[in-house]
């Protein structure tokens, strides 16, 4: 309850954490309290003197008031900074002219009108383990300023609606830091006394400080160029330590593909003559879109066929695209405040999804994205951390870089496109840039551009930004043979979420097609809705998919001219992020699985059936009944597996069961043991019934050709690996030696790793041996070793927590590097407390694992709650961890 939390806030806040810093109580910040800044910054000149013990940062800022002649206090953010000097219009301020506390530097009465502010601070990047602000990674300096890291570099109005032009001068020892990078263009460089050198960078575009970046160190670059469609030549450079350069080929390919795609699809051209990417081993998130100097977690840049899997190659393509696309959706047009994060992230995730679709298989990409939404975002939206795509409040913004803001946000953007069509969506994008280039704006402004460019009626659509929770939609169908009509009746409900008990009906686009008894799409001509007969096709051309606009709590649509009872294909392409419940029978689902022209829904029909079967078997398991798998389901899987007309990657998806998370999310009380037992029962049953088919799938999909990253080759490997994983569930010595053969003969990481993972499904000597062999092969490549850790950490063999604990003492494990995770309750609790002192952002991400504790059985509940309480009681807890742990207990 609120009382208890307040007491906890107080007790946490009053605990002494160190002699120098007294912690302030965690403060909740609300969207409704947004105020425009009193001052703007015009020009910012930064000067860095990088040192081994300390770094000096000088800033010279041209400040002007929002309202001419009005002078109010100027409040600057600053955290962990040592103030050296502060000057206004060239005059050093005296102690009584400003106020300094642990988070702010306040000038109580600055001059009226424009003035210059000069501040010198001292910082200690080599001690900065939080990986925000300026820090060191493997001996190199680098920065991460989003969301609020710039305040750890210098005193500033650290908020995205302050946009200014920057120049950055950097000086450092030349032998230790031969490469000095920042945003924009290199204007000047030269030698200095004492073995030092300097550079001067200038960024001609206004930007918020979260897009500032600096990198200094021993790096080398892969160089290439891109000629934009208007004929400008852009130099492209990807920076890594020299030995990693050979692994940047795919990243460079991805960057050039992304630049071309944004021109082709959105007419958006790159706007500077240089684009840099730097790969660093220590990075909290995937990557960061700093203007012209993107910084990446090296796992999302470095790849070679021997060390990276197809999934890694695909992730690199997507994230290189994502950060590049931010140049327009994020940098040129940015967010007014952090509540609007989805304005740039939802839109940019949508753009990278579309990019990956166009570069590979659209249906397969859609299947991947929807699975991710269901397995991660749905549980978040149904738990204590549920928040709208645009949150109403936060304690620590870093906690809101979530699957809801990103992935559900991308679904919201996708709905505009579904409703407006490709051309209408493009018109909306064009208007958005025309209106807002160079501005910091809100989600309403994006909405208004889409609406105004299309003169669309978007009644209630904005609720997608403000209401949390996954809407549930029920649909029932009826056919009237005499009237030749077919009716679909929808009813919707949005579940209550923390702080939002009562919800309004949403605007839900539902794409629908109707199949005849041969499995063909029925041409749709008109439908009755709200007592009116509406024509479906404006041009008179037959339409096979219509987007119904469900806006009310209950709503009916009646198709006319339907001469036989159709099988409906509802929510084609997953046209809205909802849970759909229909009255389709098992045989309808099998029919759709065999015939639907919408490939996403074809896959979906199989998943709906699988979820139904799994939930029924879970109930049987809980009542100790024998588990029996429906033969029709086995036949359905078999016909997919053996259909030569289907795309192989699609088959691999279609024969893969829904994830355990997805099934638990659908249960009253999540029962991981039962779900696990059922899932492995079905896998084993399929493997033994279809053993011959799986074996021939493995054999016919081997290849001796060199690795290529393209859809055909990836599809082949995906299907082969899926078949091998099924077979290995049988724990049969013959299969183990087959898998071992695949492991030994593999020429790429995709097949080598899949073979090892297949063997590792079963405890025993074969498992131990192959894990040891793999480690000794790759112990010098930390990105591969991380995969090896992850495979074991996520393994569900009995007694795995003990294994994982041992791994923590493994020489290759390093808590300072965020790419490594753990599992197990107490174990996780202890890690969180230790890690919080080093890196609060990553620690709070780990606490999220406990946040859905109430969904589990009593024993698990107690174990998780105990850990949450232990965490809350820890000394000097960060705001990051405090927010997640306290909300989880509330
Ligand atoms: N804007 C980055 C992206 O491309 C994410 C960076 C967030 N970093 C953080 N520490 N919260 O999605
Ligand atoms: Zn992003």
Confidence tier at 807 by pLDDT (50, 70, 90): confident
What does each C-alpha distance from 282 to 48, 138, 299 come to in angstroms? Answer: 22, 8, 10
What separation in Å is there between the alpha carbon of 318 and the centre of ligand 2? 11
Q: DSSP class of residue 194?
A: T
Which of 20-34, 105-119, 345-359, 817-831 is least confident?
817-831
What does each C-alpha distance from 599 to 180, 518, 650 come to in angstroms? Answer: 49, 17, 9
Burial 160-175 (b: 16+ CB within 10 A, else e): bbbbbbbbbbbbbbee
pLDDT tens digits for range 705-722: 899 999 999 999 999 999
Confidence tier at 794 by pLDDT (50, 70, 90): confident
CA distance 560 to 565: 12
CA distance 759 to 767: 6
The β-bridge partners of 183 are: none
Confidence tier at 873 by pLDDT (50, 70, 90): confident
Tracing tokens 């055909």 back to the chain, one arrives at 712
Mutate to test the pocket of ligand 1, among 131, 146, 400 (most ligand atoms within 8 A of CB): 146
What's the pLDDT score for residue 70?
83
How large is the average pLDDT for residues 164-186? 98
Tracing tokens 């024509």 back to the chain, one arrives at 535
CA 304 to chain centre: 24
What's the pLDDT score for residue 828?
81
- With beta carbons less than 8 A apart as the criterion, state whether 467 and 504 touch: yes
- With beta carbons less than 8 A apart as the criterion, state whether 203 and 183 touch: yes
Copy the structure tokens of residue 545: 């998919």
- Is the per-residue pLDDT at 168 higher than 60? yes
What's the pLDDT score for residue 87?
98
C-beta neighbour count of 541 within 10 angstroms? 7
Which of 337-341, 537-541, 859-863 is least confident?
537-541
Which of 333-342, 466-475, 830-839 is least confident?
830-839
Query: Measuring from each residue's beta carbon to the nearest atom of ligand 1, which residues come in under 6 Å?
Result: 144, 146-147, 284-285, 287-289, 322-323, 345, 398, 401, 841
What's the pLDDT score for residue 813?
64
Query: Residue of the nearest CA to atom 7 in ligand 1?
Result: 146
How large is the average pLDDT for residues 325-342? 98
Residue 47: closest CA among 164, 204, 153, 162: 153
The dihedral over CA atoms of 494, 499, 502, 507, expressed in degrees to the nearest 10, equals -40
Copy the structure tokens of residue 81: 């900074």
- Is the per-residue pLDDT at 114 higher than 50? yes
CA distance 193 to 507: 66
What's the pLDDT score for residue 817?
59
Quick check: helix, strand or coil at residue 63?
strand
CA distance 122 to 81: 6
Mean pLDDT of the chain: 93
- With beta carbons less than 8 A apart as the criterion, state whether 676 and 660 touch: yes
- With beta carbons less than 8 A apart as the criterion, state whether 211 and 290 touch: yes
What does each C-alpha distance from 395 to 1, 880, 883 come to in angstroms? Answer: 17, 8, 6
C-beta neighbour count of 31 within 10 angstroms? 17
Per residue, the 3-state secondary structure of 642-666, as one string, reads CCCCCCHHHHHHHCCCCCHHHHHHC
Cis-peptide, bond into residue 603, ω within 30° of zero: no
> Is 241 exposed, middle or buried, given 0-12, 13-18 or 19+ CB atoms closer than 10 A?
middle
What does each C-alpha distance from 487 to 186, 355, 478, 508, 514 come to in angstroms? Answer: 65, 37, 5, 18, 11
Q: How many residues does the chain have?
A: 890
How large is the average pLDDT for residues 618-629? 97
- With beta carbons less than 8 A apart as the criterion, state whether 130 and 840 touch: yes
- With beta carbons less than 8 A apart as the criterion, state whether 493 and 578 touch: no
- Is the per-residue pLDDT at 808 higher than 80? no
Mutate to test the pocket of ligand 1, among 131, 149, 288 (most ligand atoms within 8 A of CB): 288
What does each C-alpha distance from 576 to 350, 379, 511, 532 come to in angstroms? Answer: 13, 17, 9, 25
Residue 310: closest CA among 703, 699, 645, 763: 703
Dmax (CA) for the chain in angstroms is 94
What separation in Å is there between the alpha carbon of 805 and the centre of ligand 2? 33
> Higher pLDDT residue, 822 or 304?
304
% of the chain at pLDDT higher than 90: 84
Query: Residue of the nearest CA to atom 11 in ligand 1?
Result: 398
pLDDT tens digits for range 628-639: 999 999 999 999
How large is the average pLDDT for residues 370-389? 94
What does each C-alpha distance from 538 to 51, 526, 535 come to in angstroms? Answer: 68, 10, 7
- Is the per-residue pLDDT at 869 higher than 80? yes
Q: DSSP class of residue 156?
A: B
Which ligand 1 atom minimizes the distance to the CA of 323? 4
- Is the per-residue pLDDT at 24 higher than 80? no
Query: Residue of the nearest CA to atom 4 in ligand 1?
Result: 288
Burial 478-512 (b: 16+ CB within 10 A, else e): eeeeeeebbbbebbbebbebeebeebebbbbbbbb
- Is the per-residue pLDDT at 820 higher than 50? no
Confidence tier at 814 by pLDDT (50, 70, 90): low
How large is the average pLDDT for residues 393-399? 96
CA distance 684 to 691: 10
pLDDT tens digits for range 742-780: 999 999 999 999 999 999 999 999 999 999 999 999 999
What separation in Å is there between the alpha carbon of 783 and the centre of ligand 1? 21
Q: DSSP class of residue 856?
A: B
What separation in Å is there between the alpha carbon of 101 and the centre of ligand 1? 28
pLDDT tens digits for range 514-570: 999 999 999 999 999 998 999 887 777 889 999 999 999 999 999 999 999 999 999
Per residue, the 3-state secondary structure of 714-762, as one string, reads HHHHHHHHHHHHHHHCCCCHHHHHHHHHHHHHCCCHHHHHHHHHHHCCC
Confidence tier at 2 by pLDDT (50, 70, 90): very low
Catalytic choice (132, 146, 148, 323): 323
What separation in Å is there between the alpha carbon of 647 and the centre of ligand 2? 31
How large is the average pLDDT for residues 362-375? 96
Confidence tier at 4 by pLDDT (50, 70, 90): very low
Which ligand 1 atom minimizes the distance to the CA of 345? 12
Pairing verdict, β 293-297 and 274-280: parallel
User: Which residues 6+ apart lie within 8 Å of 492 measured at CB?
Assistant: 471, 472, 473, 474, 505, 506, 508, 550, 553, 554, 578
User: Catalytic: 323?
Assistant: yes
Q: Sign of dihedral through CA atoms 252, 253, 258, 264?
A: positive
- With beta carbons less than 8 A apart as the criterion, state whether 888 and 868 touch: yes
Q: Quick one: which ligand is closest to 349's CA?
A: 2
């Amino acid at each position: 309850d609120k009382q208890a939390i307040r007491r906890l806030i107080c007790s946490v806040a009053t605990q002494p954490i160190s002699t120098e810093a007294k912690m302030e109580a965690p403060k909740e910040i609300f969207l409704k309290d947004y105020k425009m800044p009193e001052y703007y910054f015009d020009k910012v000149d930064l000067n860095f003197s990088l040192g081994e013990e300390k770094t000096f940062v000088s800033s010279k800022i041209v400040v002007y008031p929002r309202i001419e002649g009005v002078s109010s206090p100027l409040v600057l953010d600053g955290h962990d900074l040592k103030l050296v000097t502060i000057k206004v219009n060239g005059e050093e301020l005296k102690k009584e002219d400003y106020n300094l506390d642990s988070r702010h530097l306040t000038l109580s009465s600055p001059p009226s009108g424009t003035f210059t502010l000069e501040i010198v601070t001292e910082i200690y990047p080599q001690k900065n383990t939080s990986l925000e602000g300026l820090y060191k990674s493997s001996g190199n300096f680098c920065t991460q300023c989003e969301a609020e890291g710039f305040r750890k570099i210098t005193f500033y109005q650290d908020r995205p609606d302050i946009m200014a032009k920057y120049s950055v001068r950097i000086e450092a020892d030349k032998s230790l830091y031969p490469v000095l990078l920042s945003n924009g263009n290199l204007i000047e460089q030269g030698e200095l006394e004492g073995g030092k050198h300097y550079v001067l960078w200038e960024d001609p575009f206004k930007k918020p400080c979260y897009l500032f970046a600096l990198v200094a160190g021993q790096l080398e670059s892969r160089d290439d160029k891109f000629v934009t469609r208007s004929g400008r030549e852009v130099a492209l450079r990807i920076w890594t330590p020299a030995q990693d350069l050979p692994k940047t080929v795919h990243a460079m390919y991805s960057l050039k593909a992304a630049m071309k795609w944004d021109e082709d699809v959105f007419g958006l051209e790159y706007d500077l003559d240089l684009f840099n990417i730097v790969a660093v081993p220590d990075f909290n998130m995937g990557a960061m879109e700093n203007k012209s100097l993107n910084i990446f977690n090296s796992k999302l840049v470095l790849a070679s066929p021997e060390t990276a899997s197809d999934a890694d190659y695909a992730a690199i393509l997507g994230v290189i695209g994502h950060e590049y696309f931010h140049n327009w959706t994020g940098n040129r047009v940015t967010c007014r405040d952090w509540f609007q994060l989805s304005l740039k992230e939802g839109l940019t995730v949508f753009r990278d999804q579309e990019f990956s679709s166009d570069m590979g298989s659209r249906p397969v990409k859609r299947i991947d994205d929807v699975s991710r939404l269901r397995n991660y975002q749905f549980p978040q939206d149904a738990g204590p951390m549920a928040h709208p795509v645009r949150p109403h409040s936060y304690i620590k913004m870093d906690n809101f870089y979530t699957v809801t803001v990103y992935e559900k946000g991308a679904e919201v953007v996708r709905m505009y496109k579904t409703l407006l069509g490709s051309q209408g969506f493009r018109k909306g994008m064009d208007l958005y840039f025309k209106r807002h280039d160079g501005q910091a704006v809100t989600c309403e402004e994006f909405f208004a551009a889409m609406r105004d460019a299309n003169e669309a009626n978007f009644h209630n659509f904005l609720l997608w930004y403000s209401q949390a929770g996954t809407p549930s939609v029920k649909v029932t169908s009826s056919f009237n043979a005499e009237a030749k009509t077919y009716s679909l009746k929808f009813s919707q409900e949005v579940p209550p979420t923390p702080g939002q008990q009562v919800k309004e009906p949403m605007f839900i686009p539902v794409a629908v097609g109707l199949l005849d008894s041969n499995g063909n799409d029925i041409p749709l001509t008109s439908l009755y809705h709200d007592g009116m007969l509406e024509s479906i096709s404006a041009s008179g051309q037959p339409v096979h998919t219509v987007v119904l606009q469900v806006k009310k709590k209950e709503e009916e649509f009646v198709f006319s001219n339907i001469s036989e009872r159709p099988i409906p294909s509802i929510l084609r392409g997953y046209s809205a992020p909802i849970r759909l419940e229909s009255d389709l029978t098992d045989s309808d689902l099998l029919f759709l699985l065999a015939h639907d022209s919408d490939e996403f829904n074809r896959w979906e029909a199989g998943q709906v059936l699988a979820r139904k079967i799994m939930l029924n078997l879970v109930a049987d398991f809980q009542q100790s009944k024998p588990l029996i798998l429906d033969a029709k389901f086995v036949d359905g899987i078999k016909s997919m597996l053996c259909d030569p007309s289907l795309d192989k990657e699609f088959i691999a998806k279609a024969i893969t069961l829904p994830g355990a998370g997805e099934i638990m999310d659908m249960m009253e009380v999540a029962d991981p043991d039962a779900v696990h037992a059922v899932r492995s029962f079905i896998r084993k049953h399929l493997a033994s019934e279809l053993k011959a088919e799986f074996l021939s799938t493995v054999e016919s999909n081997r290849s001796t050709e060199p690795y290529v990253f393209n859809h055909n080759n990836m599809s082949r490997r995906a299907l082969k690996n899926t078949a091998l994983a099924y077979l290995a569930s049988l724990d049969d010595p013959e299969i183990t030696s087959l898998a071992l053969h695949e492991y030994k003969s593999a020429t790429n990481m995709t097949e080598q790793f899949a073979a090892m993972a297949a063997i590792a499904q079963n405890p025993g000597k074969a498992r131990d041996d192959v894990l040891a062999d793999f480690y000794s092969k790759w112990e010098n490549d930390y990105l591969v070793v991380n995969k090896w850790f992850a495979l074991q950490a996520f393994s569900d063999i009995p007694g795995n927590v003990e294994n994982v604990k041992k791994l923590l003492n493994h020489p290759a494990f390093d808590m300072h590097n965020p790419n490594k995770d753990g599992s197990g309750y107490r174990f996780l609790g202890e890690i969180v407390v230790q890690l919080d002192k080093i890196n609060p952002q990553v620690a709070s991400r780990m606490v999220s694992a406990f946040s859905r504790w109430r969904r589990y059985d009593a024993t698990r509940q107690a174990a998780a709650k105990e850990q949450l309480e232990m965490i809350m009681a820890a000394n000097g807890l960060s705001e990051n961890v405090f927010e997640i742990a306290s909300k989880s207990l509330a």
